[in-house]
Amino acid sequence: MIGIVIVSHSKQLALGVRELAAQMVQGQVPIAVAAGIEDPENPLGTDPIQVYEAIASVFSDDGVLVLMDLGSALLSAEMAIEFLPEAQQQKVYLCEAPLVEGAIAAVVAAAAGRDIHQVMAEARGALLAKATQLGVISRPLSTITPATTNVESPTREIRLIVSNRLGLHARPAAQFVATAARFQSQILVRNLTRNTELVRGDSINQVTTLGVRQGHELLITATGSDADEAIAALQTLFANNFGEDNVALNSPPAFHHEVTPATHGELSGIAASPGIAIAPVVHYQPTHISITEYHVDDPDAEWQRVQAAINTARQEIQAIFSQASLQIGDAEAAIFDAQLLFLEDPVLLEAAHQRILENHINAEAAWQAVVDEVATSYRTLEDSYLQERVDDVVDVGQRVLRLLAGNAAANLHLESPAILVATDLTPSDTAGLDPTKVLGICTTSGSATSHSAIIARTLGIPAVLGVDAQVLHLADGTLMALDGESGRAWVEPESHILDLLAVKQSAWQTAQQEARATAHQPAITRDGRQVSVFANIGSINDVQVAVASGAEGVGLLRTEFLYLDRTSAPTEEEQLAVYQAIAQVLDNRPLIIRTLDVGGDKPLPYIRVGFPEANPFLGWRGIRFCLDHLDLFKTQLRAILRASVGHQIKIMLPMIATVTEVRAAKAILSEVQAELNQAGISFDAAMKVGIMVEVPSAVAIADQLATEVDFFSIGTNDLSQYVMASDRTNPRVANLVDALHPAVLRMVQQTIQAAHTAGISVGLCGELAADTLATPILLGLGLDELSVNPQGIPGVKQAIARLSIVESEAIAASALQQDSAVHVRELISTSITPPA
């Protein structure tokens, strides 16, 4: 049996790693520790004799793998080998793999009976092993090969016209590839309009570079046992217009360009996101990754490094997608679906694999070469829109390269508000910006239709792109002004420019306020039914925007922001201060606080899980997590109760699946109330308790749950993916996750009926609430409250005012009888009566 030796300066660290690794294989693999020194005052260090003894204690002819941290640990390990007999020295291998992950990967491989070279390769590709345990991949990427054609396999073909406004841009292309990849048949596609060659339908890059625009005709062939099913599925995608309505959700605004003479310090650029910004500049420069090509003796190990980096990149992009969904909505966050598919593109992966195997070059050089080839293929397209997709290729390519190089992710932390100046921003960069700190964006490249520009407009950050490169030489702190409507920027603007911009900014704000004026009125239908419109928020800043946008309260306060990105849980006092501050801004409007909804897909770094979850969305999260961590749960409940004095605060429990969970949570709440009473601490004893309905089982027993709580709030984001059995972060099935599907709508109807029968109110806080296309259905189903992102409040209130309950009920009844989300949308678009 192969032995493992862990060498570290810290004995506690090494023992912890050994304990963790041993648990992974139930002690099947011999693991020795050589760590620390016998000096009570300064125990950190390494001793070559200890390392020698550790190696000897686990030595076998199968070999010994030594993992170590940096500095003297490496020197001690090298010296220890010299003490061994020469025959044994040849069977001891020092490995540069990460200590913790490497040890786990190595023991798993050793327990599986692999030889020393395979064990070392597994250790080097440690993150791949972690990803495999988490179920991130289902098959090694290196085995992806095109389907073979034989005479017994039927071939089917179809010609289809593309009707999407922007053709097969990133999101439709991602859906096409995800659909094609579901079938065993080989899918080939050709753009007849452009007379291109046939390309593989399971390659995101090859499909995108066909340059498919609206009106183009495609020839699609499928060869294999399920060819008919594949063609039918693709035909449905086209028939459904890829879920798009051909109305630009965030198309470049039609800016009015003022023709005025240039002034001192003025820079002209591209108007990309409207608004005025005046602030000091701060330069953003992503970390440059320098790549050197070199010869490798073990190409398999290099390929495993690529796979490990790809799987880590996938997890990072999925995290960005989840955060972006909350901040900019699922529609715009879907930009990152294409990035996920880029990582699974078999053509690109096979090219990288081939370069490594045939040329014996390192992973970084091979990956960079294939990414450059793909980027070049985008740049040479005649279609300017598709040329801009190179930003996404470079974005995801650099992410993998950074992981291969072992570089930390670049984080932008601004101490005070500023205008960000950069050569360019990737979609990932832009999605991570804080609009309260980044007041404007000024870059030397980019375009108004780039994904970064789309995200900037969604975030409401003014942006001027494509300005002269001299802006890159400005010192941080230099005052800049920019006008995202006219596409101009000024360096150290003169007073009269500042005055003009201040007037324009004031006019802009006035126009925005006028547009939102009706949002501060109640949302009342044409036939007199009032519907509450609340806000979903995730910070103190959000609540201020919500009130300014006309929110009548907060229907969902996501408290996760208090717990994430820190090394310990927030204290009761920290939480109390935040809850009170938010309630103060609301000025006695209702505030529904959702208790902690982490675990599984959103783990807390300071809570040791102890086991990986293959499918975290179906795992240990929400109320399940809180009931297993009573210290965290009770601390949060105490803070909420204490904040309730003088405010209209309600508690909402997430991820409820059973009546038992509700009763357990209520029992804990009663305990906390009793403790506060005993301590003489005031709270609202009549505070209402509700639950999130986001699990199908909760819908099935909604009548029972309704007798236990004071209100329901339906979370259609999660409910949709659970009803459709489709992970909304998985691009291969994300198109199935549609809250307007009749199956989901029937779940909503059933929940509302159960709630009203029990005499309790029911709201909806999922993304569907902000979709004004869905408003008539939601009104018709009888919802009492809609809770949306603050920016969506004015539009939702306007939509409600244009409808009547009578016509909404008719539309809802018809929608429930449809057989697809596409048909539901068609029904709505043809049924709404224009306002008189």
- List residues with catalytic annotation: 451, 765
- Angle of helix 805-815 versus helix 742-757 axis, rounded to 10: 130
**CA atoms of 109 and 104, how far apart (whole Å):** 9
Q: What string of DSSP letters covers 622-643?
A: THHHHHH-HHHHHHHHHHHHHH
* Helix H or strand E encompassing 266: strand 266-268
Q: Residue 51 corresponds to which tokens in the numbers above?
A: 């390392």
**CA atoms of 442 and 467, how far apart (whole Å):** 7
In 380-468, alpha helices (H): 384-387, 390-405, 427-431, 451-459
* Helix H or strand E encompassing 66: strand 64-68
Q: Residue 639 corresponds to which tokens in the numbers above?
A: 């803070």
Amino acid type, 648: Q
Contact 283, 513 (CB under 8 A): no
**CA atoms of 329 and 728, how far apart (whole Å):** 13
Alpha-carbon distances, residue 81 vs 55, 68, 72, 466 (angstroms): 8, 14, 14, 58
Q: What string of DSSP letters covers 755-783?
A: HHHTT-EEEE-SGGGG-TTTHHHHHHHT-
Q: What is the torsion angle, in degrees rounded to the nearest 10, for the CA atoms of residue 693, residue 575, residue 573 and residue 628?
A: 40
Contact 484, 276 (CB under 8 A): yes
**CA atoms of 624 and 639, how far apart (whole Å):** 20
Contact 766, 737 (CB under 8 A): no
Q: What is the torsion angle, in degrees rounded to the nearest 10, for the CA atoms of residue 77, residue 79, residue 82 and residue 88?
A: 0
Q: Residue 110 corresponds to which tokens in the numbers above?
A: 């050793």
In 3D, which of 90, 64, 202, 96 has the Cα closest to residue 146? 202
User: Angle at Cα 286 formed by Cα 284 and Cα 289, nearest 5°?
Assistant: 160
End-to-end alpha carbon distance in the chain: 82
In 3D, which of 257, 199, 299, 248 has the Cα closest to residue 454? 248
**CA atoms of 630 and 645, how far apart (whole Å):** 23
Amino acid type, 434: D
Enter the DSSP assignment of 616: G
**CA atoms of 325 and 334, how far apart (whole Å):** 8
Enter the DSSP assignment of 432: T
**CA atoms of 610 and 606, how far apart (whole Å):** 12
Contact 324, 333 (CB under 8 A): yes
Longest C-alpha distance within the chain, in Å? 95
Can you list the pairs that 73-79 forms with residues at least 24 positions away whose Cβ atoms lie under 8 Å?
73/7, 73/8, 73/9, 73/46, 75/46, 75/48, 76/7, 76/34, 76/46, 76/47, 76/48, 76/50, 76/51, 77/5, 77/7, 77/48, 77/51, 79/48, 79/51
Q: Residue 712 corresponds to which tokens in the numbers above?
A: 């329901």
